[in-house]
Amino acid sequence: MNIELTRVKVKNGKSAKVDEWLELLHNEMDKVLLTLEAEKMYVETIFREFTENGEFLYWYSIQGDGGASLHESDFEIDKLHIAYWEECIDEDFEPVHMKKKVSMIQDKVLAVLQ
């Protein structure tokens, strides 16, 4: 199982597009949840932060081993998700992958995830 938290920078001037992106994911949650099954993505949460250094998105996820890649997906919602990413995320800014130190998951929850 892989547990991650990653921070990415939003391109300047793309806040409205990020609003649109996040609203799409929220409004199409039934389609999003279908794609998570193939990815073995048990939990995926997006956080948003505005600082004096810009706008950032944080991705928190718990994913099982051997899941399909988002980029291999045939789901239209995944293709839209990738298109928004490419338009909104500043690839010149190195993503920050936080180092996991402690993971607290009850055994009964862990058993369901595995």
The C-alpha atoms of residue 31 and residue 33 are separated, in whole angstroms, by 5
According to the model, what pLDDT value does residue 91 have?
A: 96
Could you tell me if 67 and 41 are in contact, meaning their C-beta atoms sit under 8 angstroms apart?
yes
According to the model, what pLDDT value does residue 100 have?
A: 94
Confidence bin at 19 (pLDDT 50/70/90): very high
Confidence bin at 112 (pLDDT 50/70/90): confident
DSSP result, 36-60? HHHHTEEEEEEEEEEETTEEEEEEE
Average pLDDT, the chain: 94
According to the model, what pLDDT value does residue 72 have?
A: 87
Question: Does residue 85 surpass a pLDDT of 80?
Answer: yes
Q: What tens digit of pLDDT does each residue of 30-72 get?
A: 999 999 988 999 999 999 999 999 999 999 999 998 888 888 8
* Bridge partners (DSSP) listed for residue 56: 9, 49
Average pLDDT rounded to a whole number, residues 105-113: 87
Interior angle at CA 95, CA 55 and CA 92, nearest 5: 75
The residue among 7, 29, 13, 6 whose CA lies nearest residue 87 is 13
Average pLDDT rounded to a whole number, residues 12-37: 96
According to the model, what pLDDT value does residue 110 have?
A: 85
